Amino acid sequence: LTNQSAGTYCIRLINSLGEVLVVKNIAHNGVNNLQKIEVTGSPLPKGIYELEVIKPDGSKEAIKILK
Measured CA distances, 54 to 33, 37, 43, 46, 59 (Å): 17, 15, 25, 25, 6
What SS3 class is residue 48? strand
> What digits encode the pLDDT tens for the residues 15-33?
999 999 999 999 999 888 8
pTM above 0.95, yes or no: no
> What digits encode the pLDDT tens for the residues 45-67?
999 999 999 999 999 999 999 98
Q: pLDDT band at residue 3, thresholds of 50, 70 and 90?
A: confident
pLDDT score of 40 more than 90: no
12, amino acid identity: R
56 and 8 in contact (C-beta within 8 Å)? yes
27 and 45 in contact (C-beta within 8 Å)? no
pLDDT score of 42 more than 90: no
